[in-house]
Amino acid sequence: MQRTVEEQRQINKWVGHEKKSGAAVVKLLNKQRLARKQPHIEKSAVYRFIAGETHSKDSPESRGRDKTLTRADTRKLQQARRRLLREADSEHRVTWQDVLDEAALDSAPCLRVVQDALRSTGVRFRPPRRKIGLSQKDAKKRFEVGLVWKKKTKRFWTGTHGYYDNKSFPMPLTAGQRSKLRQTRITGHLRLPGEGVEQGFTKPREAHSWIGFPSVTISAVVAKNRIIMWEEIPGTWNGQKAADVYQGPMIKALRRVWGRKRSYRIVEDGDRKGNQSNKGIAAKHAAGIQAMTLPPRTPCWMPLDYAIWSKIMDRVLETAPPHTETKKQFLVRLRHCALTLPRSWVAAQIGRMTEQIKGVVDAKGYHPKRD
């Protein structure tokens, strides 16, 4: 039975101030332990403590060998790890040995010591987060645009007349299709390492899960605190379809919500097939629509992309009937789920634009931590 901290203090008091012998101290300690219904302490443990042969919590650690790695060494290893990963840019795998070689420590620890030191800080081999691939050119453009847009106030973004985007929605019409779609949206399980392939702990491969799924293309505009335009796009998306949206449902929705104005300011992506086609540009000019074009691969600056589309799909799956439904029934339900989103929640997502832009700028155009 080990000594407690309080017992160590009592031993120091009895031996140092009251000059009691080791045998007397053992007797007193065991008397107290008997009253507390605890096991007796071995006299050797008391004698070793009195002789200073064991460690005291109030004194510096002096037992065992000196640590191979200091805090400075661990810091060098972390810096080397981050440096190598940035240089590799996911093109090849960085190993523990690579980190040790790059750090060039003064000492020569074995690989296991390095692994233990980094693992104690939380470093593990983890699968990479799946994000849109960004080249240096993309990041530079995002950073340059972000520096300009960062200066705009939150009121500017909440007062923007519309955020416009297209979405190809999967249409799970049967119970089996809905089950497969729900499985692909699961992000993780509470499981042990060995349970990864058991039934209930796996998910279908997303690259193959859409086979047999019908889909529908939706054009939507969100503004203020709600979706103000929801339009189904039949057939293949192209410049003429984009022009029809600008001069038809979009301009009608903007006038209905904001009244008649000389021009309307919207935010949209750089879709070359439709938004940035010659027909699309001409249609915007004719309708008095001025578009702020997102830099390439920046869905994190589009409220529909970073929040609203996913929320709509969540509601679609939550309200799904247990039986098979027709395409018309699904589209009616999809539209209802979109147009009845809580207005306070929609307004809050648009209000996030300022912090979303700041995050990209702080990351120098690359993915921010909260992305």
Q: Are residues 150 and 22 in the same domain?
A: no
Pairing, β 264-268 against β 289-293: parallel
19 and 164 assigned to the same domain: no
* Mean per-residue pLDDT of the chain: 88
For the residues 252-259, what does the mean pLDDT come to?
96
Q: How far apart are CA 199 and CA 219, in angstroms?
A: 38
Segment 350-371 mean pLDDT: 90
- Whether residue 280 is found in the same domain as residue 152: yes
- The CA angle 84-86-90, to the nearest 5 degrees, is 95
Here the tokens at position 42 are 């071995």
- Is the predicted pLDDT of residue 124 greater than 90, yes or no? no
User: pLDDT at position 195, please?
Assistant: 64
Residue 194: inside a domain: no
- Structural domain for 94, as ranges: 71-119
- 3-class secondary structure, 359: helix
Sequence-ordered alpha helix ranges (H) in the chain: 5-16, 22-35, 43-50, 71-88, 96-103, 111-119, 136-149, 154-158, 175-184, 206-209, 239-245, 251-258, 278-287, 303, 309-318, 327-339, 343-350, 353-362
Residues 230 and 353 in one domain: yes
Both 148 and 261 in one domain: the answer is yes
- Classify residue 200: in a domain, yes or no: no
Q: Mutual orientation of helices 111-119 and 96-103 as an angle, nearest 10°?
A: 100
Q: Is the pLDDT of residue 290 over 60?
A: yes
Nearest to 338 by CA among 178, 253, 181, 228: 228
CATH number at residue 345: 3.30.420.10
Is the distance from CB of 369 to CB of 359 less than 8 angstroms? yes
Dihedral pair phi/psi, residue 266, rounded to 5° = -125, 160
Q: What whole-number distance in Å separates Cα of residue 297 and Cα of residue 13?
A: 70
In angstroms, the Cα distances linking 311 to 164, 225, 307, 346 are: 17, 14, 6, 10
State percent of the chain over pLDDT 90.
55
Whether residue 239 is contained in a domain is answered as yes
Confidence of residue 211 (pLDDT cuts 50, 70, 90): low
**The residue to which tokens 């540009």 are assigned:** 281
Whether residue 82 sits in one domain with residue 180: no
Q: Are β-strands 162-170 and 264-268 bridged in parallel, bridged antiparallel, or unpaired?
A: parallel
Please give the Cα distance from 193 to 9 (Å, whole number): 45
Based on the domain organization, do 160 and 246 belong to the same domain?
A: yes
Instruction: Answer yes or no: is 335 within a domain.
Output: yes
Q: Quick check: 200 pLDDT over 70?
A: yes
Q: Do 101 and 11 fall within a single domain?
A: no
Output phi, psi for 294, to 5 deg: -65, 145
Contact 218, 224 (CB under 8 A): no
d(CA 259, CA 243): 21
Q: Sheet containing 226-233: which strands, arranged edge to edge? A: 226-233, 215-223, 162-170, 264-268, 289-293
Number of domains in the chain: 3
Burial class, 294, CB count within 10 angstroms (exposed 0-12 / middle 13-18 / buried 19+): buried
345 belongs to a structural domain: yes
Q: Map residue 195 onto helix, strand or coil.
A: helix
Which pair of structure tokens corresponds to residue 182?
A: 């729900």
Q: 179-200: buried (b, 16+ CB within 10 Å) or exposed (e) per residue? A: ebbeeeeeeeeeeeeeeeeeee
Residue 178, pLDDT > 80, answer: yes
Quick check: is 64 in a domain?
Answer: no
Given pLDDT bands bounded at 50, 70 and 90, which one contains residue 367? confident
C-alpha atoms less than 13 angstroms from C-alpha of 15 in its C-beta half-sphere? 19
What does the pLDDT read at residue 349?
96
DSSP state, 296?
A: T
Residue 55 lies in a domain: no
At residue 232's C-alpha, the angle toward residues 303 and 278, to 5°, is 75
pTM (predicted TM-score) = 0.70
Whether 58 is in a domain gets the answer no
**Tens digit of each residue's pLDDT (9 = 90 or more) over 52-104:** 766 555 556 555 566 678 889 999 999 999 999 888 877 778 899 999 999 98
